[in-house]
Amino acid sequence: MNDNLAKMREAAKRALESGDVGYVIGWGATKFPDKTSPLFMRKPEDAERLVWNEYAIPGIAKYLLDDLYPDKPIGVFVRGCDSRAINRMMKDNRIKRENLRLLGIPCDGKDDERCTICRNRNPLVYDELLWDEAPTPEPKDRYFRANAVEAMSADGRYAYWSEVFDQCIRCYACRNICPACNCKECYVDMTATGFQGKQHSRSDNLIFGVTRAFHVGDRCIECGECERVCPMGLPIMGQTQKILKDINELVGDYESGVDAESENYLGVFDLDDKDEFM
Amino acid sequence: MSKIGVFVCHCGTNIANTVDVERAVASARELPGVAFASEYKYMCSEPGQQMIKDAIEEYGLDRVVIASCSPRMHETTFRKMLKDTKVNPYMLEIANIREQCSWVHTDKAKATEKAIRLIRMSVAKAARDEPLFASSIPIEKRALVIGGGIAGIQAALDIADAGHEVALLEREPSIGGKMAMLDKTFPTLDCSACISTPKMVDAGAHPNIKLLTSCEVVKTEGYIGNFQVTIRRNARYVNHDICTGCGLCETKCPVKTDSEFNHGLSKRPAIYKLFPQAVPSKPVIDKNSCLKLTKGKCGVCEKVCPLGCIDYADEDREFTETFGAIVFATGYELIDWTALYGEYGGGRYPDMLTGLQFERLVNASGPTEGHIVRPSDGKEPKTVAIVKCVGSRDPKKGKSYCSRACCMYAAKHAHQILDKLPGTRVFIFYIDVRTPGKGYEEFYDQTRKDGAIYVRGRISKIYKDGDKLVCNGEDTLLGKQVKVMADMVVLETAMTPSSGIEELATMFGVARDVNDWIQEAHPKLRPVETQVGGVFLAGTCQGPRDIPDTVAHASAAAAKVVSLLNKSEMETSPMISVVRREHCCGCGACEKICPYTAITLEEIDDRVGAKRVKRPIASVNSGLCQGCGACTAACRTGAIDLLGFRNAQILEEVDALCL
């Protein structure tokens, strides 16, 4: 058992014993040695089931959305990506800071392609830090998916996305895990939007794909969870990466979820907005 | 099933020449929900309107589609017409088959096809129209005129004479604007100061006019009838409540800095009046050149002031006032030719003047008391070259437009030179001579008879040779190169909008054209209004014009303001945003994107499972909402909808076009 896991179990146990939190969210083992699942610890002894290893990949912050009005604060272990997810949902007025007890755990990077573009391994918001922060290694190409698609011709891109979304089974796992997809009711669940059909067809799948990308848009925290949970393994980060790339190239450095105050770039009206195109 | 009436207008031949109106009507009859379709030569005319009313009565129509010009043009006309019928005025759709079809196409078959599609879209949208009802808001019976030039003064006087309060705002320490700088005015040659200063005094003394000099607009909120304008009064360092304007301080001030009013042709002290006839006739301190304020020493003015008006601790102050109407009278500036015309020396030669500098030079109250002499050596010029269209009608270097007043004041300058210095040779280089105005052509003729030599052609280069300014150019009528050895050159430079117009226009949400002049609501029929309700235009902020046109424009704007302020309340458009509470998750995306601060988040009581909770949702202020629809695009759940342009209606239009 590594030292860090011991510290995490200790922290979870302490929090549950004190009665300050209702429950603590972390990672637990599954029957597969290389997979973990979210673990909801309600009793101090549950802390013994906590797992922290190179497979503790899943984002766990999104579960906060299932309990918006808790009686007691909820304890959550937060890595860099989880903390950005929490900032995201706080900025969107969905969760409240006073309902959270954040146990900061600087991450050592996981065995996942999407972790290679990580820009913040250390949590950006937390109540206590369980061990010392370590610098985040130089990230790889932030727009690796978008760049690959951009290199194609217009017809090539259409063929590419058609092929991608022909495989989409519309399970909405990408939406369910995404911390930016935090609406009370998602438009895909409404029966009469008029523009989104439920059927599995290329046009409706593409409409879903493009609408998801624009709804997330500038609020994407680049955690890559959408791709990880996709049962069809679709490279859908390419869509949000493209939007972020455009914003970064047009107006300079922009990153979402690094705090809970900064405005979403596409979400404000400002007298100084660039309007050369008008 | 709805009963839609479709009325296709010929617009004389404007539409009918390019669109087969009868075919459009026939195809409209086939559309679902259409109970009646017809055409007429001028749908907006009295018989056209009567025809629509009769059809509503006869066929029991409950909504109307009119295929005609842009809704900007006649939507209000037709809404007004529907008020007399059983049909709600908002159950109306306009298919724009003129601006968006007949005017921009030549192929009649294809244009007809497009018109049919546009009508099909409007019919689809109309089927989802719902009755809307206007509410009314009170009007604050005060006007704010921004800019204290002749346009602002005239507008303020007219509004004040009609019995309404006016605040006349000017960022300089005195009202008067550009007209106060001019010497004589064409074509009658009456003295500019003699006709403008009495108006300035009237404005300063009028019981209904409050002067806000040294003031700038910082922020504005609100809407027609209720603009909350935050104004900054820049520090004057002189207490104008006590100051009598005796002028002692000005004579003792040791500082000499360039006079803005004389365009750098003379010096002024740091405590100064903009010009002797300034209104208010009280000095201010220029904080950038005052020794006390920049270096902490001097203080002479404080010592000599007999009334103790000087207050070095004065600070900029901000205050907010409410106005029912706003008049933009922000005027113009001359284009900075020095940056554009390197071949004219780029401003290196002191004997090259702009039109306004020449006005100061020739003005009896100017730096030389009206003697036309060269700024460099004080000698009278023997040869003067006047170059027109410097920066105007020159899309490569300056502006593509004509600045309108220059032809006439170039003629006036020539006349003044020939009058004051008989025997001087005056060459005027021109592209065309434009003299549309009462007495203008006669004045131009007289100037030529006086001896001004008009040369058609642009000047390609001006350089110095000894104490002469050599002007190289071409006489395009002779087809020969010409060279004029001038002692003085006057450049009649282009008018451009005043600095700061971009910020001001954006603050009020007023549109600008490609050259940054303020865009009028309609170039012919609404020349003094803007697209923003309650914001009007006076004078050159809309585009170059001369004094008579400016004064007429300003009075027209005042008439519009007066007719607005005469009402005690006005109807507001019911086409505003509404929130579906059950879908709103309170993310606030709409709040941030709203340009009119019309949306705020409010806490409501809700129930989640067994719990009673408070949660934020968006709430729209119906007075502030202008119906722009930005929020509906920002809302991810589609919880916010624009009445009259519901998402569902727009989808119907898209389907009608594409499916």
Domains of chain B: 4-126 (3.40.50), 136-234+316-331+498-571 (3.50.50.60), 236-314 (no CATH), 338-493 (3.50.50.60), 577-642 (3.30.70.20)
B-chain residues near A271 (CB < 8 A): 503, 506-507
Q: Does A184 touch chain B (CB under 8 A)?
A: yes
In sequence order, what are the beta bridge partners of B384? B426, B488
Q: Is residue A1 part of a domain?
A: no
A-chain residues near B594 (CB < 8 A): 269
B-chain residues near A213 (CB < 8 A): none
Please name the residues between 43 and 82 in chain A that touch chain B, using a CB distance below 8 Å. Answer: 68-69
Give the ipTM.
0.88
A111 with A172, same domain: the answer is no
The pLDDT-based confidence of A252 (bands split at 50, 70, 90) is confident
Separation between Cα atoms, residue B34 and residue B30, nearest integer Å: 7
A109 with A159, same domain: the answer is no
Q: Is residue A121 part of a domain?
A: yes
Q: Say whether B240 sits in a helix, a strand or coil.
A: coil
In sequence order, what are the beta bridge partners of B434? none
Q: Is the pLDDT of residue B527 over 80?
A: yes
Q: Does A269 touch chain B (CB under 8 A)?
A: yes
A81 with A164, same domain: the answer is no
Last residue of a domain, one of A96, A129, A162: A129
Q: Is residue B187 reached through a cis peptide bond, with omega within 30 degrees of 0 on the bond before it? A: yes
Task: Give the 3-state DSSP-derived string for B272-299, with helices as H, strands as E and coil as C.
Answer: ECCCCCCECCCCEECCCCCHHHHHCCCC
Q: Is the pLDDT of residue A254 over 60?
A: yes
B613 to chain A: closest CA residue: A69
Per-residue pLDDT at B457: 94
**Dihedral pair phi/psi, residue B328, rounded to 5°:** -85, 120
Separation between Cα atoms, residue A105 and residue A25, nearest integer Å: 13
B612 to chain A: closest CA residue: A69
Instruction: Say whether A183 and B587 touch across the interface (CB within 8 A).
Output: yes
Instruction: Say whether B589 and A267 touch across the interface (CB within 8 A).
Output: yes
Per-residue pLDDT at A274: 65
Instruction: Say whether A194 and B588 touch across the interface (CB within 8 A).
Output: no
Separation in Å, CA of A137 to nearest CA in chain B: 34
Per-residue pLDDT at B120: 97
Instruction: Say whether A269 and B616 touch across the interface (CB within 8 A).
Output: no
A-chain residues near B651 (CB < 8 A): 194-195
Q: Is the pLDDT of residue A276 over 80?
A: no
A149 with A76, same domain: the answer is no
Q: What single-letter DSSP state applies at residue B197?
A: H
* pTM across the whole model: 0.68
A19 with A121, same domain: the answer is yes
Instruction: Write out pLDDT tens, residues B170-179.
Output: 999 999 999 9
What mean pLDDT do residues B541-559 have?
Answer: 97
Q: Does A215 touch chain B (CB under 8 A)?
A: yes
Q: Is residue A271 part of a domain?
A: no
Q: Does A93 touch chain B (CB under 8 A)?
A: yes
A158 with A112, same domain: the answer is no
Residues whose CB is less than 8 angstroms from the CB of residue A230 and which lie 6 or more positions away in sequence, other chains included: A173, A174, A236
What mean pLDDT do residues B58-81 have?
Answer: 95
A64 with A162, same domain: the answer is no
What mean pLDDT do residues A126-130 have?
Answer: 95
A193, A195, A267: residue with CB nearest B593:
A267
Q: Does A275 touch chain B (CB under 8 A)?
A: no
More confident residue, B207 or A270: B207
Domain that holds residue A110: 8-129
Report residue B121 as tokens: 């879209």
Residues whose CB is less than 8 angstroms from the CB of residue B565 and which lie 6 or more positions away in sequence, other chains included: B139, B141, B142, B143, B159, B162, B164, B324, B325
Instruction: Write out pLDDT tens, residues A173-213.
Output: 999 999 999 998 899 998 878 888 888 899 999 999 999 99
The pLDDT-based confidence of B570 (bands split at 50, 70, 90) is confident
User: Whole-number mean pLDDT of chain B?
Assistant: 94
Specify the DSSP element, H or E, that contains B446. Answer: helix B440-450
A79 with A186, same domain: the answer is no
The pLDDT-based confidence of A275 (bands split at 50, 70, 90) is low
Percent of chain B scoring above 90 in pLDDT: 90
Q: Is the pLDDT of residue B413 over 70?
A: yes
Per-residue pLDDT at A272: 65
Per-residue pLDDT at B154: 97
Taking CA atoms, B347 is separated from B360, B402, B429, B459, in Å, by 18, 23, 19, 16
Q: Is residue A273 part of a domain?
A: no
Q: Does A274 touch chain B (CB under 8 A)?
A: no
Last residue of a domain, one of A129, A158, A183: A129
Instruction: Say whether A186 and B637 touch across the interface (CB within 8 A).
Output: yes
CB A93 within 8 A of CB A70: no
Task: Give the number of domains in chain A.
Answer: 2
Q: What single-letter DSSP state applies at residue B483?
A: E
Burial class (CB in 10 A: 0-12, 13-18, 19+), A138: exposed
The pLDDT-based confidence of B137 (bands split at 50, 70, 90) is confident
Q: Which of A269, A275, A276, A277 to mutate to test the interface with B (most CBs of B within 10 A)?
A: A269
A190 to chain B: closest CA residue: B637
A89 to chain B: closest CA residue: B587
Q: Is the pLDDT of residue A271 over 80?
A: no
Last residue of a domain, one of A98, A129, A160: A129
A-chain residues near B588 (CB < 8 A): 92-93
Q: Is the pLDDT of residue B269 over 70?
A: yes
Q: Is residue A274 part of a domain?
A: no
Q: Is residue A54 part of a domain?
A: yes
A-chain residues near B593 (CB < 8 A): 267-269
Separation between Cα atoms, residue A12 and residue A21, nearest integer Å: 10
A148 with A125, same domain: the answer is no
The pLDDT-based confidence of B608 (bands split at 50, 70, 90) is confident
What mean pLDDT do residues A159-164 have?
Answer: 96
A187 with A243, same domain: the answer is yes
The pLDDT-based confidence of A269 (bands split at 50, 70, 90) is confident
A209 with A234, same domain: the answer is yes
Instruction: Say whether A194 and B651 touch across the interface (CB within 8 A).
Output: yes
Q: Is residue A211 part of a domain?
A: yes
Per-residue pLDDT at B531: 83
What mean pLDDT do residues B176-204 have?
Answer: 94
A205 with A232, same domain: the answer is yes
Separation in Å, CA of A112 to nearest CA in chain B: 31
What mean pLDDT do residues B427-441 have?
Answer: 95
Q: Is the pLDDT of residue B148 over 60?
A: yes
Q: Is residue A2 part of a domain?
A: no
Q: Is residue B280 reached through a cis peptide bond, with omega within 30 degrees of 0 on the bond before it? A: yes
A69, A187, A215: residue with CB nearest B608:
A69
Report residue B629 as tokens: 């629809």
